[in-house]
Structure 1
Amino acid sequence: MSSSLRRGALAASAIAFSIASLAACGAGNSSQTLEVQPDNAATSVGDIKIQNALVITQPGTDTSGPSVISATVFNSGRSAQTLDSISVEGGGSAKLSPAKGSDKLSIPAGGSLVLGGKDNASAVLSDAAEAVQNGNVQKITFTFSSTGAVNISAFVVPAESYFSSWGPSEIPSVTPSPGESASPNESASPNESTSPTATATESATGQ
């Protein structure tokens, strides 16, 4: 295992718990929530504080295909701000989408915004495989309506284990090589079917 992958593995184990904790309280506006100090990528500029910043790639060792940026943004100011853009050094700009039921990525005064995970706002990098490698540290620039640009260095991790539900929802399909196809005997028998009671953990990541 390369040194960069070892660093990524150690970082992943150290920050996984705090991601889940902040996601649970991300919608809260209490001072207790704003005082959380996780042991991972975090920075503060003016009224804006960014915590738990990560770049999450496809599961496995292949980083091709969409990646996502996960983070929790806090606004300690008296006025709301919007997250206008996110860019990754060498990886281009992310496509931002608001949370379900919202029309923009707004961080209310004294509140927070969660990026990544089910029903939350999202930031997707269409294909930054050449610039984003698992185990590396990547420079990310968040740009806000009032505070402006905020830079942070975040670890790159695959959408596995603790991060499976935070990773990309789109998984690239595998294209078979020429002449490669399933034999007639490899198809499912008439009696085999997918269980209608499959649990949520058996569905694609990034629900």
Structure 2
Amino acid sequence: MSRSLRHGALAATALVFSIAALSACSAGNDAQTLQVRPDNAATAVDSIKIQNLNIITQPEPDAEGPAVIAATLFNDGAKPETVEKIALPGTGTTVELKAAKGKGPLVVPAGGRVIIGGKNNASAVIEDGRRAGTNGDVQTVAFTFSETGDIELGAAIVPATSFFEKFGPSALPSAEPKATPSGSASETPGSASETPGESGSPSATPSGSATPSDDAAAEH
């Protein structure tokens, strides 16, 4: 094969590889776009890492109700770290912390992590969500750890929509009451209360009897 033909073959081969690489990148980018997550605040101080930090408000901008803080806390140290407090400096509001099971302090185990926000996870609730700030703004969040001390970083304020919906506040504004269908059973004073069963028919539950409570559900 002549030198010019060899050069032409090499150039054609390189072009094929370039097109294939570009096609693969395009497909990869499209696939990633389907699962893209917004940029979230993150920092690391000593053995503590804070990632995916957001303040998540009610889905509607004019809705009353709590807001929540969502974050993932990592502890690379040899000792467990207790989250003693989370605050929003300058807002005058408080943040109520609860462990995943609702009891005891919020502890990040040595070599482990804790997720704040979302179902069955630890929670950090701001009762007056409006005082957390305005959607689109950045609010400073201050964490106080038992060993590392204070860590502050800015968190984006976002509504509980789209990706953040499952990490948003569990307490949402009450919906409008629905009309009671005609012919449905109604309670009579002094009679047993009626609770719909699985089949749709009411099952009588004597008043004053113990009723098991639902498990409390713990995302931003």
Q: TM-score range by the shorter chain?
A: 0.5 to 0.7
**Counterpart secondary structure, 2:163:** helix
Q: Give the structure 2 partner of residue 11 of structure 1.
A: none
**What residue number does 1:115 align with?**
116
Deviates more, 1:54-63 or 1:148-157: 54-63
Residue 172 of structure 1 and its aligned partner are, at CA, apart by 3.1
- Residue identity in the other structure for 1:41: A
CA offset at residue 93 of structure 1? 2.3
Q: Does 1:189 align with 2:181?
A: yes
Question: What does 1:47-62 align with in structure 2 at a 5 Å threshold?
Answer: 47-62=47-62
Whether 2:77 is the aligned partner of 1:77: answer yes
CA distance in 1, matches of 2:43, 2:88: 16
Q: Report the counterpart of residue 171 of structure 1 in structure 2.
A: 172
Deviations 1:27-60 (A, max 9, x none): xxxxxxxxxxxx4200111111100000000111
Counterpart Cα distance in 2 of 1:131 and 1:66:
9
The structural deviation recorded for 1:174 is 7.0
Cα RMSD (Å): 3.3
**Amino acid across the alignment from 1:55:** I
Which consecutive residues of structure 1, in runs of 5 or more, have no partner in the other structure? 1-13, 20-38, 176-181, 198-204
TM-superposition CA deviations, 1:75-131 (whole Å, max 9, x none): 111111110110113152200011027522111111101000111110000104144
Is the counterpart of residue 158 in structure 1 residue 159 in structure 2? yes
The 5 Å alignment of 1:80-159 reads 80-89=80-89, 90-100=91-101, 103-159=104-160
Question: What is the TM-score of this pair, normalised by structure 1?
Answer: 0.66
SS of residue paired to 2:101: coil
Q: How many residues align?
A: 158
| Unaligned 5+ runs, structure 2 | 1-32, 185-195, 200-216
User: Shift of the alpha carbon at 1:62?
Assistant: 2.1
SS of equivalent residue, structure 1 residue 153? strand
Matches within 5 A, 1:21-60: 39-60=39-60
Larger radius of gyration: 2
Amino acid aligned to 1:187: A
